Amino acid sequence: MKITISGSLGNIGRYLTEKLVAGGHDVTVISSSTDRQAAIEATGAKAAIGSVADIAFLKTVLTGADALFAMTPPKMGGSNVIQNTIDAGKAFAEAISATHVPRVVMLSSIGADHATGNGPIASLHHIEDLYRQLEGTSVTFLRAGLFYTNFYNDVPLIKGMGIIGGNYPDTLGLPLVHPADIAAAAAEELVHSPAGKNIRYVISDIRTPADFSKVLGAAIGKPELPWVEFTDEQSLQGMSQAGIPEEIAHLFAEMGAGFRSGKLFADYIKTGSPVTGSIKLESFAKEFAANF
């Protein structure tokens, strides 16, 4: 199959590219950086250098493709984040429609069933709606859990204050996922075409913040690392002090509040809370410690 992948060789892209190339597929990887061309070609894939917001470029890349892994990068420029990300999704949808790509696997997120109250995930809700309107294209929405790799954002807090935390309690069960498990699910979905538009949740483990602090703390030699629950106001203040733009800080605080209320997990729980990934928190903790 001729398969196009967006997202360059990022957390998911590298695993997915290597898996598909090993399976004998003709793979093209989209990247916005010419610096990544050599690394992409070293995997045995072709490199397509350009912007996913450029419809003309996307049409060229997608012409003749049998399948597409569509990952719309968040436009975290500091303002109009949701709308800017939706606009990039519109470019993809238009190019898919114009080139009649028969199979699309879109990276989405748990909580994307909501249009509001989910922070940056709101953009994915609207992009899912755009893809649902595609005629003649089979689409699977991969609704991923919280990336393990997001824990790297907590490293300054751990090193600076000796704590880890968020604006939700340490007893809350959170669906987590490893990028390699997303890649495995995407590879499975890309090579077959169920009819219509479908949702698949991709979760590696369900654990509490109390587990985060215990497991990650033990891995980095800080077995007493505490989870601290912040108020929304404290969370906003902390992000502001870390230099995060105000709009983005509010979006992340809103997402945390959505976790706390359980709103963002309701649809996932309704499906039976499937856990299909193989990489558990303890395994990721070894990676975390190696990069701490």
Exposure string of 70-81, with b = 16+ CB inside 10 Å and e = fewer, is bbbebbeeeeeb
Instruction: Give the helix ranges, DSSP H, for 49-139.
Output: 55-62, 81-99, 122-132
Q: How confident is the model at residue 72 (pLDDT cuts 50, 70, 90)?
A: confident
Residue reference for tokens 């856990």: 275
Predicted pLDDT of residue 144: 98
What is the torsion angle, in degrees rounded to the nearest 10, for the CA atoms of residue 247, residue 253, residue 257 and residue 260?
Answer: 150
Report percent pLDDT > 70 for the chain.
99
pLDDT at site 241: 87
What are the pLDDT digits (tens) for 16-54? Answer: 999 999 999 999 999 999 999 999 999 999 999 998 889
Q: How far apart are alpha carbons 92 and 55 in whole angstroms?
A: 7
Report helix, strand or coil for 139. Answer: strand
Average pLDDT of every residue of the chain: 95
**pLDDT digits over 215-226, tens only?**
999 999 999 999
User: Does position 76 have pLDDT exceeding 60, yes or no?
Assistant: no
pTM: 0.94
82-133 tens-digit pLDDT:
998 998 899 999 999 999 999 999 999 999 999 999 999 999 999 999 999 9
240-273 pLDDT, tens digit per residue, is 888 888 999 999 999 999 999 999 999 999 999 9
Domains of the chain with bracketed CATH: 2-144+177-202 (3.40.50.720)
Q: Write the DSSP string, 174-243.
A: EEEE-HHHHHHHHHHHHT---SSEEEEEE-SEEE-HHHHHHHHHHHTT-TTPPEEEPPHHHHHHHHHHTT
Which pLDDT score, from 0 to 100, does residue 75 have? 63
DSSP 8-state assignment for residue 91: H
